[in-house]
Structure 1
Amino acid sequence: MTSINRLTALVLVLLLAACSGAPTTDTAKPKRQADASIPADLSPREQVNLWLERAAATDEIPQKQDYQLKAAELLLRELQLPLAEELLATIDASVLPAELRVQYASLYARILRNQGKFQEALSILNEPKLQDMVLLSDLPRQLQVSQLRASLYAMEGMHLAAAQERIYIDALLTEEQQAVNREGIWHSLSYVPTRELLESHQNASNRDFLGWVELASIAKDNQGDIDTQVRQLNAWLRRWPNHPAAGALPGGLANLSDMAAEKPQQIALILPFSGQLAPLGKAIRDGFMATYYQTRSRGNPTPNIKAYDCADGDQIHLLYQQAVQDGAQLVIGPLRKEVVDALRTQVQHFDVPVLALNRVADDQGANNFYQFALAPEDEAIQVARIAASEGFQRAMILTPDSEWGLNVAQAFSAEWQAQGGRVIAQAAFNAKANNYSQIIKDAMQLDRSEKRAQKLTWLIGNNIEFQPRRRSDLDFIFLVARPQEAYAIKPLLAFHYAGDIPVYATSHIYNGIPSPSRDRDIDGVKFVDSPWSLNNETAEKKAILKELPHSRHYQRMYALGVDAYRLYPRLQQMAQLDSSKVYGATGSLQLNNAGQVERQLLLAVFEDGLAKNIPLTDSTLDKDIHDQTPKPLQGKQPYADRQTPGTAGRTMADGPESPDYQPQFSQPLRRN
Structure 2
Amino acid sequence: MIQPVKIFVIIASILLLSACAPKLPLAPAIDETVQIPTIVTPPLEEISAPDLVAQRQQALATQNWGRYLDTTEILLVIATPEQQHSLLLDTYAQLDQINPSFWQQAQTSRHQAWHSLAITHQLPISFQLAWLEDSGKLFHDHPATQQLVSLLSETKHAPKQQRIAILLPFDSRTQPLSNQIRAGILAAYWQTAQQDQLLFFNLEDYTNPIEAYEATQQAGADWVIGPFDRNTIEALSRVANDRLIFLNSAPNASNAWQLQFGTPDSLQQLIYHIGKQDYRNLAVLYADQPNHQQQISKLEEKWLTTPQNRIIPLSFEQNQRNLRDELGRALQSDQSQVRANFLQRTLANNLTFFPRHRGDLDALLLLGEREYLANIQPQLDFFQVNIPVYAMDTLMPTEFRPGLAEPDLKNIRFLSYSAVMSPELISSPLAALGWDSFLITQYHQALLDGLSLNGATGQLRHHEKGLINRQLALVRFNARGQLITDDTQPNIWPFANYTGQPAPMHPREREQRQRELLELITQPNF
TM range (shorter): 0.5 to 0.7
Corresponding residue of 1:614? 486
Paired residue type of 1:302:
D
1:388 aligns with 2:275: yes
Corresponding residue of 2:112? none
Label 1:346 to 1:283 Cα distance change in 2 as closer, same or farther (>3 A).
closer
1:520 aligns with 2:407: yes
1:561 to 413, 422, 434: 434
Corresponding residue of 2:137? 242
Q: Is the 8 A contact 1:385 1:415 kept in 2?
A: no
Q: Is the 8 A contact 1:480 1:509 kept in 2?
A: no
SS at match of 1:301: coil
1:491 aligns with 2:374: no
Label 1:317 to 1:413 Cα distance change in 2 as closer, same or farther (>3 A).
farther
1:330 aligns with 2:218: no
**TM-score (ref. length: structure 2):** 0.55
Paired residue type of 1:335:
F
2:395 to 485, 503, 509: 509
Q: Is the 8 A contact 1:275 1:311 kept in 2?
A: no
Q: Is the 8 A contact 1:385 1:416 kept in 2?
A: no
Label 1:534 to 1:573 Cα distance change in 2 as closer, same or farther (>3 A).
closer
1:347 aligns with 2:220: no
1:280 aligns with 2:280: no
Paired residue type of 2:440:
L
CA distance in 1, matches of 2:154, 2:416: 28
Label 1:434 to 1:242 Cα distance change in 2 as closer, same or farther (>3 A).
farther
CA distance in 2, matches of 1:570, 1:521: 40
Label 1:359 to 1:350 Cα distance change in 2 as closer, same or farther (>3 A).
closer
CA distance in 1, matches of 2:469, 2:154: 20
Paired residue type of 1:561:
G
CA distance in 1, matches of 2:376, 2:342: 30
Paired residue type of 2:460:
L
**TM-score (ref. length: structure 1):** 0.44
1:301 aligns with 2:195: yes
**1:130-149 equivalences in 2 (<5 Å):** none
User: How far apart are residue 380 of structure 1 and its match?
Assistant: 2.6
Q: Is the 8 A contact 1:317 1:347 kept in 2?
A: no
**Which deviations, in whole Å up to 9, do the C-alpha atoms of 1:620-652 show, x marking residues without a partner?**
xxxxxxxxxxxxxxxxxxxxxxxxxxxxxxxxx
SS at match of 1:566: helix
User: How far apart are residue 333 of structure 1 and its match?
Assistant: 2.3
1:585 aligns with 2:456: yes
Identity rate of aligned residues, in percent?
25
**Which deviations, in whole Å up to 9, do the C-alpha atoms of 1:401-452 show, x marking residues without a partner?**
777666665555543334554321143674x876643442232123344445
Q: Is the 8 A contact 2:316 2:327 kept in 1?
A: no
CA distance in 1, matches of 2:347, 2:205: 70
Q: Is the 8 A contact 1:397 1:425 kept in 2?
A: yes
Label 1:461 to 1:530 Cα distance change in 2 as closer, same or farther (>3 A).
same
User: How far apart are residue 393 of structure 1 and its match?
Assistant: 1.6
Corresponding residue of 1:46? none
**1:188-203 equivalences in 2 (<5 Å):** none
**Which deviations, in whole Å up to 9, do the C-alpha atoms of 1:58-110 show, x marking residues without a partner?**
xxxxxxxxxxxxxxxxxxxxxxxxxxxxxxxxxxxxxxxxxxxxxxxxxxxxx
Q: Is the 8 A contact 2:414 2:476 kept in 1?
A: yes
**Which deviations, in whole Å up to 9, do the C-alpha atoms of 1:211-267 show, x marking residues without a partner?**
xxxxxxxxxxxxxxxxxx99xx979976994279xx9xxxxxx9997798788x333
1:359 aligns with 2:249: yes
Paired residue type of 1:415:
K
User: How far apart are residue 386 of structure 1 and its match?
Assistant: 0.6
CA distance in 1, matches of 2:291, 2:176: 21
Q: Is the 8 A contact 1:398 1:426 kept in 2?
A: yes
1:425 aligns with 2:308: no
CA distance in 1, matches of 2:294, 2:218: 39
Q: Is the 8 A contact 1:270 1:332 kept in 2?
A: yes
Paired residue type of 2:462:
L
CA distance in 1, matches of 2:155, 2:365: 44
**1:45-444 equivalences in 2 (<5 Å):** 241-242=136-137, 265-295=162-192, 298=193, 300-309=194-203, 316=209, 319-320=212-213, 323-324=216-217, 327-336=220-229, 338-339=230-231, 343-344=233-234, 347-348=237-238, 350-351=240-241, 353-359=243-249, 363=251, 366-399=253-286, 412-418=299-305, 421-427=309-315, 430=318, 436-444=323-331
Corresponding residue of 2:447? 574
User: How far apart are residue 279 of structure 1 and its match?
Assistant: 1.3
CA distance in 1, matches of 2:153, 2:285: 45
Q: Is the 8 A contact 2:337 2:355 kept in 1?
A: yes
Q: Is the 8 A contact 2:166 2:198 kept in 1?
A: no
User: How far apart are residue 383 of structure 1 and its match?
Assistant: 1.5
Q: Is the 8 A contact 1:398 1:480 kept in 2?
A: yes
SS at match of 1:305: strand
CA distance in 1, matches of 2:441, 2:321: 44
Paired residue type of 1:557:
L
1:599 to 467, 470, 477: 470
Paired residue type of 2:310:
R
Aligned length: 349
Label 1:395 to 1:322 Cα distance change in 2 as closer, same or farther (>3 A).
farther
Corresponding residue of 1:200? none
User: How far apart are residue 490 of structure 1 and its match?
Assistant: 1.2
Label 1:558 to 1:347 Cα distance change in 2 as closer, same or farther (>3 A).
closer
**1:623-662 equivalences in 2 (<5 Å):** none
CA distance in 2, matches of 1:477, 1:238: 50
CA distance in 2, matches of 1:400, 1:243: 63
Corresponding residue of 2:118? none
**Which deviations, in whole Å up to 9, do the C-alpha atoms of 1:128-180 show, x marking residues without a partner?**
xxxxxxxxxxxxxxxxxxxxxxxxxxxxxxxxxxxxxxxxxxxxxxxxxxxxx
Label 1:451 to 1:358 Cα distance change in 2 as closer, same or farther (>3 A).
farther
User: How far apart are residue 584 of structure 1 and its match?
Assistant: 0.9
User: How far apart are residue 387 of structure 1 and its match?
Assistant: 0.5
CA distance in 1, matches of 2:446, 2:154: 9
Q: Is the 8 A contact 1:331 1:354 kept in 2?
A: yes
User: How far apart are residue 602 of structure 1 and its match?
Assistant: 2.6
Paired residue type of 2:175:
A
CA distance in 1, matches of 2:381, 2:214: 57
CA distance in 2, matches of 1:444, 1:470: 5
CA distance in 2, matches of 1:474, 1:258: 55
User: How far apart are residue 536 of structure 1 and its match?
Assistant: 4.4
Label 1:238 to 1:599 Cα distance change in 2 as closer, same or farther (>3 A).
same
Q: Is the 8 A contact 1:581 1:588 kept in 2?
A: yes
User: How far apart are residue 294 of structure 1 and its match?
Assistant: 3.2
Label 1:352 to 1:532 Cα distance change in 2 as closer, same or farther (>3 A).
closer
